[in-house]
Every structure is written in C-alpha cells, then in structure tokens.
Structure 1
Amino acid sequence: MRIRIGKKEIQVEVAAGWKKYLGYMFRKEPSFEEGMLFVFDTPQKVKLWSPFVGFPLDVIFLNKRLKIKEIAFLEAWDLNGVECQKAKYALELKSGFCKKFKIKKGTRIKFSPFTIPSSSSNPKQLHSRLL
C-alpha cells in the first residue's frame, strides 16, 4: 500500500493480526522508501517496543483522522518502548525519516488509492470527510 506523508510517498506493509507482534523483529533496516503501519480497531493507548530489532526507528502515531498526534524515536533493542494515548495507527519508519522530510505533528497522512486499512488488513474505503 502506498501512502503520502507531506510531500514524500512511500510503500508500507500493514502489520495486522499476528504481524503486530513481530513488526521489524529479525528483519533488515527499512529504507526511506518503506515503512510498517500498525492498525488498531479503536483509538487506544499504543505502546511499541523493539526487542530483536537491531536498528532505531522513527515512530509516528496517528489519530482516526490520519493526523499525526505524536512523533517518537525508538532505539534499537529498546525494551521500554514508546507510547501514545488514543492512537488509531502507528507508523514505523527508518530513523531520521521525519527530520529528513520535515514531518511534523499535525501533518495528515494520505493513503493511496484512497483506502484506509482495517485491523484485519481488509481495506475500507476512505470516508470523504478525511480527504
């Protein structure tokens, strides 16, 4: 699935079901062209940590309207993790992504071809008010 963050378009993998527990564990570091999207059924407290992830990550927490609520930095092998209250989505990106592409809190993310993934990884049509 392709998404646009600011002026940057990237390919994301949806981490739904059991993939939510693995994330980037045992994988190679992503490039600036890719990321991993975690989808939750409802806005909730979301905590991400990185056991068995040998590289740092930028983490973007989004609300249900796809607006960035918070940007966090997740260290490699971090057992404490990072968290956000009332997040509907979390996006893991290569460390330095947000700085390089000037991504800031309040930026809205757009999905292409205008779909929002559900927590079961079956895309739902994007509601017109989100555009």
Structure 2
Amino acid sequence: MKLSSLLLSCALLLPLSLPVAQAQSPFLAQPQLDLPRATLQAGRQQISVQLAETPLQRQIGLMHRRQMPGNEGMLFVFEQPGVQCFWMKNTLLPLTAAFLDDAGRIVNLADMQPQSEQQHCSAKPVRYVLEMNQGWFRQHGLRAGMRLKHPVFDAALAPAGR
C-alpha cells in the first residue's frame, strides 16, 4: 500500500472516532442554559426557574455552573411521585434542594455541598425538586410545610372531576 493511501485511510478513520467519544460523554463540562422557564411564587418572592423535565435534563441539572443569580433556580419535574435523591458530582455551586409534593408544599430541605457524592433524599415521595443557591430558603423564611405557588401546583389541589 502506498504511503498516500495509508495516510488517506487514517485521515478518514480519525473523524469517525470523535463523535463516539463525544457520545460517551454527553455533558462535556457545559452547563445547560437553554431549558424552558417558569415563574414560581415563594411567599413574596418570585423565582425564575429552568425546568428540567427529561431524564437527561434532570441528570445534568446544574452541573458545571459557576454562578446563578439570587432569585433563579432549577425545578426538576418527575412524571410520578417517588423518593427522589440528589447528589452534587460535577456541581460547582453550594445548593439547597427543596423537595416538593404535588401541591408545591415543601416536604424537606437539604443543604448540599459542591462536588460531593453524598445522597440527599426526599423524606417522602415527591414530584418536584427545586434547587436554589444555598441559604436562599433560610434567608426568605421558607421551611418544610410551606407551599410554593404555580398553576401546576394549584391543579393538584383541585377536587377530582373538576
């Protein structure tokens, strides 16, 4: 085989290997910033949240973010209630997770440290988890039993058949 043919064969194979490596690592240290948004009401505070609704969006979450504005967060939306557990691998910000039931009521809060693999779980089955900068809930006087407001939470409170 001529050297030029060998080089051409190698050149054709090289680009084929790059997408495989990228496919094995979907995160590539990039924060997800283009998710749909919603506004929640927490007491007198409005919170702008990104919605993590798919399994991949929930898996990436707030990984690789270096900062997040004070009244912003991420709302993880699950199809059905379940005990939800979170960890902070590849997450650079200290966060607090609020585990919320179907009606938007805070079941429990968990402070989470950056880049930790420690599990933080809901005290009972929940459908939503809201992550905010650590201390945000405390600063605004929000604790377990209090309810956040959004039309999707209100629907859970409506009587059946309505």
Aligned residues: 119
Q: Could you say which structure has the greater relative contact order, defined with CA pairs below 8 angstroms and 6 or more residues apart?
A: 1
Tell me how far apart the structure 2 counterparts of residues 8 and 70 of structure 1 sit (CA, whole Å).
19
Give, in whole Å, the separation in 1 of the partners of 2:50 and 2:135. 19
For 2:52, which of 15, 20, 26 is the aligned residue? 15
Q: Sequence identity of aligned pairs in percent?
A: 24
Indicate conservation of the 8 Å contact 1:29/1:94, yes or no. Answer: no
Instruction: Spell out, residue by residue over 1:24-59, the C-alpha distance to the aligned partner (whole angstroms, 9 max, x if none).
Output: 111222222100000111110100111111121011
Seen in structure 2, the aligned counterparts of structure 1 residues 20 and 128 have a Cα distance that, compared at 3 Å, is: closer
- Which runs of 5 or more structure 2 residues have no equivalent in the other structure? 1-37
Which 4+ residue blocks in structure 1 deviate beyond 6 angstroms?
none
Gaps of 5+ in 1: 117-125
- Identify, as 1 or 2, the structure richer in helix: 2
Distance 1:82 1:64 in 2: 19
**Corresponding position: 1:102 with 2:130:** no
TM-score of the two chains, using structure 2 as the length reference:
0.69
Matched, 1:5 2:42: yes
Q: RMSD over aligned Cα, in angstroms?
A: 1.5
Q: Which residue of 2 aligns with 1:90?
A: 129
1:129 aligns with 2:157: yes
Name the residue aligned to 1:41: 79
TM-score (norm 1): 0.84
AA in 2 matched with 1:104: R
Which has more radius of gyration? Answer: 2
